[in-house]
Amino acid sequence: MRQTKNRVQELEGILREGGVRVTRQRAAILKILAEAEDHPDASELHRRAKEIDATVSLSTVYRTLSALEQQGVVQRHAFENATARFETADAPHHDHLIDIETGAVIEFRSDKIEQLQAEIAAELGYELVRHRLELYCRKRKD
């Protein structure tokens, strides 16, 4: 995939500019993150990254994810009683719907809700910095 390659180089650039070194291990993790279409957790990312570079340790996966999160390149999600899951922050903001039976994660975005949230915060004398909206659902039958 051509896009993935570009994205990885872009990510590497962001890291280097932030004074973060691009190691063999990090390159592998970035590639895995860039081509992920889902919301993998640390150990799943570890499993995938090892196929590119078998020396990647789980510690490094965690450390790299934290670094990337701090650079604003990766987002961490803590869904209901589950381990943290990650995704690159390149797509525009969205929230998640979780299928409570299969665990599937579906993305959605509602500009109305986004706006209402800001209004609510403002009414209470606050400035909205970030938020978390998760819909836990069951597939509708019939």
Partner DNA sequence: TAGCTAGTTGCGAATGGTTCTCATTTGCAT
Partner DNA sequence: ATGCAAATGAGAACCATTCGCAACTAGCTA
Q: Which residues bind its own copies (CB under 8 A)?
A: 78, 80-81, 97, 99-100, 106, 108, 110, 112-113, 116-117, 120-122, 124-140
Q: Which string of b and e fits 39-70 if b means at least 16 CB within 10 Å?
A: bbbbebbbebbbeebeebeeebbeebbebbee
**Residue closer to DNA, measured from CB, 60 or 75:** 60
Contact region with DNA (CB under 7 A), list: 38-46, 98-106, 113-121, 128-136? 38-46
Residues 50-109 that bind Zn ion (CB under 5 A): 95
Residue 106 CA to residue 38 CA, distance in Å, equals 9
Q: Which of 36, 52, 58, 118 binds DNA (CB under 7 A)?
A: 58
**Residue closer to its own copies, measured from CB, 93 or 108:** 108
Report helix angle 24-35 to 58-70, nearest 10: 70
Q: Does 134 bind Zn ion (CB under 5 A)?
A: no
Count of beta carbons in the 10 Å neighbourhood of residue 71: 15
Residue 142 CA to residue 135 CA, distance in Å, equals 21
Q: Does 105 bind DNA (CB under 7 A)?
A: no
Q: Does 87 bind DNA (CB under 7 A)?
A: no
